[in-house]
Amino acid sequence: MKEFVCILCPNGCRLRAGFEPDGETFRVEGNSCPRGAAFARTELTAPVRTLTTTVRAVGGERPVLAVRTAGEIPRAKLMEAMEAISRLTVRPPVRRGEVIVHNLLGAGIDLIATDDLAAVLQGGLKDVTPL
């Protein structure tokens, strides 16, 4: 049995989970809801995470843009994804929810902006869209 914390909600239940010696029966203890049981099984068989990070921005009101994967990707691909993202540069304006990379690493998950980032014109003026 392996011990770890469920990260799906702020309760942070302490889980004990693992397969019985028959290799098929899966047992979970410490979860306060069924989501925790499903999380435990995924965590022990094919762990996944939503990746949250930033991308370099050129010509924006901030030097970086906050991004995240639109879904979960295999935990084993996180470092490869971070390396690919570290090579990216975006040119604002960017809107929250805009897709920055389609199908990141071929995992079927997009990388999306989690914030707006306005462009800055030469001389430091903001690129303001007229109403």
Residues that bind ligand SF4 in the complex, under the rule CB under 6 A: 6, 8-9, 11-13, 31-33, 35-36
Min CB(117)–ligand SF4 separation in Å: 33
Q: Give me the phi and psi of 75, to 5 degrees please.
A: -60, -30
Residue 8 or residue 84: which is nearer to ligand SF4 going by CB?
Answer: 8
Minimum distance from CB of 36 to ligand SF4 (Å)?
Answer: 2
Burial of 50 (0-12, 13-18, 19+ CB in 10 A): exposed
Question: Which of 17, 22, 65, 25 lies closest to 44, judged by CA?
Answer: 17
What DSSP state is assigned to residue 123? T
Scanning the structure block, which residue is given the tokens 């390396």?
83
Least distance from C-beta 65 to ligand SF4, angstroms?
Answer: 30
Nearer to ligand SF4, 6 or 109 (CB): 6
**Residue 70: which of 46, 45, 100, 94 has the closest Cα?**
100
CB nearer to ligand SF4: pick between 33 and 99:
33
Between 8 and 64, CB nearer to ligand SF4: 8
